[in-house]
Amino acid sequence: MANADLLKELRIEKHQREAHGGGPARWPWIVGGVLVVVVLAGAAGWWLTGTRAIEVETAQAQSPASNTAAGAVLQATGYVTARRQATVSAQITGTLTHVLIEEGDHVKQGQIVARLDDSQYRAALEAARKQADATHALVDQFQAQLAQNQRDAVRMESLAEKGLVAKQTAEQARTLVDSTRAQLVSQQRNAASADAQVVEAQVNFDYCVIRSPFDGVITTKDAQVGEIVSPFSAGGGFTRTGIGTVVDMDSLEVDVDVNEAYIGRVKPNMPAEAVLDAYPDWKIPAHVIAIVPAADRGKATVKVRVALEHKDARIVPDMGVRVSFLESKEAQQTAQAPQGVLVPSNAIAQRDGHAVVFLVTGDKAQQHTVTPETTGKDDVRLVPAGVQVGDTLVVSPPEALKDGARVTTAKPKD
């Protein structure tokens, strides 16, 4: 009930004063007592409402750069690929006797990864060596025969000059020397051919030991001991053409498909940033290697090769990756930095026709008039002035919240 209505109720009419025997001097005291009670009640209500803390939710003002992909020109998705990988296979047909690799093994260039049954090739090598030894023995024989024939020819010529033998005998001796020399040359060539056959047999024998072509990691193991491997597909699919796959992890890069409508924005050596699907919070510096000069008519895309500037064991082939193509460093330096701070849109309230926010300082809420600007995000606005990065603001301020009111904060929103 309002104070005026209370006063009306307490008014004493003249006939009431006379009926109760009261005089004119008593009623002012009664009115004064009622007024004191009303004033005390109002003061108590004001004190209770003015000192009771209002529970509010809060959030922190953020920098515009923390919520925007600064300098991002274009985004595309792709996969991690290895520019250097090989399926390790045998160069001859044979049966596996040892397989010395498993998935995940690190191997060095020249390291033995498997062995084939070498009994046949060992026998062939020994036969070639024996044949070569025989031909070299014949060479030695012809060399000795040639030397003897040359000495005989010299003696025959000396005797022919003295008339002791016929000239025909001397000519026959010279002919025998020429014939023996020709036989020696022929045998030397046979020896060279035998030596080549030894080399061939040695190569085939060495092929029974299969080695890694370069440093890398084994990603697949495709054959087991006892299986037949061959560089050719034969036997109706009963032979293996590969023993395992080795990948050079230092050659990993990213292949992304860029829509051909936006390929003009991508340039060689352009800075980029890669984010693996498996590690969404890990940003890997990168740059564009090259734009492959061919388009996929089915997908209307152009392949772009992107180099990863940091190598890590967590990066493996065929991982999904998202690449953000960035502006050049010069363009990023000249670009004007966003002004103000980012705050939740529901932190902005209306008071007396003005947009305001309430900053929490200690246990008090301080009202600040601001001019919000939409940033294009769903839930934030850019406040050019009045709020600093890191300030704590009241989210969804209640109507009862006024400047200077006491507040108690709930857990801040993430």
Instruction: Report pLDDT digits (tens) over 184-232.
Output: 999 999 999 999 999 999 999 999 999 999 999 999 999 999 999 988 7
Would you place residue 284 in the very low, low, confident or very high pLDDT band (cuts 50, 70, 90)?
very high
**pLDDT at 361 > cutoff 70:** yes
Query: At residue 171, does pLDDT exceed 70?
Result: yes
As a whole number, mean pLDDT of residues 288-308 equals 93
Q: What is the CATH number of domain 72-82+249-334?
A: 2.40.30.170
Q: What is the pLDDT of residues 57-83, one digit of tens each?
A: 888 877 765 444 445 678 899 999 999
Q: Examine the pLDDT at 48 and tell me if it is beyond 50.
A: no
Q: Among 2.60.120.580, 2.40.10.10, 3.40.50.300, 2.40.50.100, name the CATH number for the domain at 86-114+212-247.
A: 2.40.50.100
pLDDT of residue 365: 83
| Domain 54-67+338-409 class, CATH top level | mainly beta
Q: Which two tokens stand for residue 133?
A: 């030894």
- Is residue 22's pLDDT more than 50? no
Residues 244, 220: contact at Cβ < 8 Å?
yes
Residue 8's pLDDT band, with cuts at 50, 70 and 90, is: low
Q: What percent of the chain has pLDDT over 70?
A: 77
d(CA 270, CA 306): 9
pLDDT at 269: 92
Judge whether residue 2 has pLDDT over 60: no
Average pLDDT over residues 9-31: 51
Q: What mean pLDDT value characterizes the chain?
A: 82
pLDDT digits (tens, 9 = 90+) for 99-156: 999 999 999 999 999 999 999 999 999 999 999 999 999 999 999 999 999 999 999 9
User: If pLDDT is split at 50, 70 and 90, which confidence band does 405 have?
Assistant: confident
pLDDT of residue 21: 47
Tell me the pLDDT band of 234, cut-offs 50, 70 and 90: low
What pLDDT is stored for residue 414 in this prediction? Answer: 45
